[in-house]
Structure 1
Amino acid sequence: MQLTDRRPIGRTDVEVTVMGFGGAPLGNLYAPIPDEDARGAVAAAWEAGIRYYDTAPLYGYGLSEHRFGEILRGQKRDGFVLSTKVGRVLRPWREPPAHDDKFVDAGPFEPIYDYTRDGARRSLEQSLHRLGMNRVDVLFIHDIDIFTHGANQQPDMFRQALSGAYLALREMKDEGTIAAIGVGVNEWEVCEAALDEGDFDCFLLAGRYTLLEQKPLESFLPKCVQRGASIILGGPYNSGILVTGAVKGATHNYEAAPQDILDRVAGIQTVCQAHGVPMPAAALQFPLAHPAVASVIPGGRTAAEVTQNATWLTTPVPAALWTDLKGEGLLHPDAPVPGS
């Protein structure tokens, strides 16, 4: 497999490289990135052959979209695939919010949830202004999961999105404004519920089908194959732990990893080391073996991180590594693996 290999998004004409670029870090996720580092990261992605870029209004409250637009506007627009998201509109604030936030030194905007039909169109219009572009290719409804809204409010947000934003996305696809539509969340169960009710081309699923977690194999991924819907796999390192390993302070699902996760990662790492394979290489390559998965989209804060991701994607992984992971109970027995 080469990084420049392309796979279709659902039944659309959109094709993405098997590795994309996840844009959350460019929104100063957890720590600020100098503009020159951000430019260097995207330039390194382009040089490596990455032609799929994902962003969202949430990422740095417009900063990620602004940075992608500034850098990618110099390329021919038909030469890459770009996705962003709806579900929040950004409103300028006069004073910085008092609450803590994951995005540091972000744009001076407050994100307001809006999953209505008009809100989705307004969100896309705002995104196009920040990007400085006249279109995106793929548009996702963002964060209609329990992780974001809590168990009490999530059902109402889900219903609003399916009765509002989803209709806007369908209309925009029919108009030719966008080429593919989907849902971008942290929970596969919400993706499956959306697929049961709507005609979606793809799902951006963050962290839930990885070397560490394979629960979606039991129902959701087979349904995607049956319905012709693709998976864009965000967070392939499970928020970092599949890079750092089971060390003190390792992050899983945006928080400190609990002991059971640390133990499982330690087991995976031991098997990888026995075969002389960097664990992140196995983490990037594993999801792509499933026929529903079109692309993995790790982020990158610097050119060096992006280049390292590209190297890991093409690092040789012996078949015996996957066999041993299954034998140790560290990988779902029915999980497709590279080369199978």
Structure 2
Amino acid sequence: MCKAALTYLLLLIPLISFGQNKEYGFFKTRLVNEQFIVDYSDKLSIKLFGSMKSNTIAHVNHETKKKLEYKPNESLNLGFGVGYRWFGLDVAFNFRGVNHDDDKFGHTKRFDFQSSVYTRKFAGDLSIQRYKGYYLDNPEEYISNFDPDGPYPTRPDINTRRYGVSLLYVFNHGKFSFRSAFIYNQRQIKSTGSFLAGPFFSYFRMDADSSLIISEAESEFDLSQDFRGSEYIRYGIAGGYGYNLVLGHRVFISLSVVIGLGPEIKKTPKLNGVPKNTESKFTGRAATRIALGYNAPKFYCGFSAAGVYAGERDDTEDYLERGVSNAKFFIGKRFNPPKFLLPKEK
């Protein structure tokens, strides 16, 4: 634990020093460079969208890297959104006529709140997820003569909880715009990128009635490794880079990759005759954002996705891999706001 904390501190010192540089002062807000960004926050924006969220887990063999991958029965939600200046609201609904594959993948109960906030200088994420009911996504690797058109092995007893928060500072916020790629109240008109850095925290727990290892795969995995009731607390500092590639002033591709480092505290309960235990390791996480679309003065459409992937990556024993993802596609239009929304003249 002390070694992990010392390494964490050594990583933090140069980041703080970089943030205090006169050119990139952390508290210094640079003006929007109009050669790179066009602002549309004074327009009323209305959009239609579809979204799909997920929370996956996998028991990984530390030697062969083979996995037992479990996923919830993912559902497509459809909705609409409105945005004006600082205010934005998205409302989505689960249409049963669209999601009717419970016979194949089982039923998943979920509460999934994932929210992202993009200001000029910061990109923040908050997630609260509770899932109950998973299915084995790769049974063909372990079950002979498995029929992919038939029902998949389901685990209605698997229950996961995850809470996470992260914040990224956009160093080149005068020229680089996350808003243009993800909330569309700006438009990037010239390609550029920015370094990104900030803290993160997450908590995860998985419960089930039995081990994740199915009988057909017992020879492929360590049966003594049982992750039921295990808790994972992770925190640290992340850093990376984002880039907006603009083609013809309106078509764009946005990609950011951020690597986080810090201690992870794993708490395991007393189970199968093994006493409860608490251990800490210095581990990493990867967070990605990708978006592509068309952004014009009045009309826009596109696709975006974000994901966070974590796991102990242990070389001495099997480990539990976790992933969170959120994908969205949308089409929208900007309007001049009605008079009652306009600021009153003094």
TM-score (norm 2): 0.23
Structure with greater helix percent: 1
Structure with greater strand percent: 2
Work out which of the two has the higher radius of gyration on C-alpha atoms and give 1 or 2: 2
TM-score (norm 1): 0.23
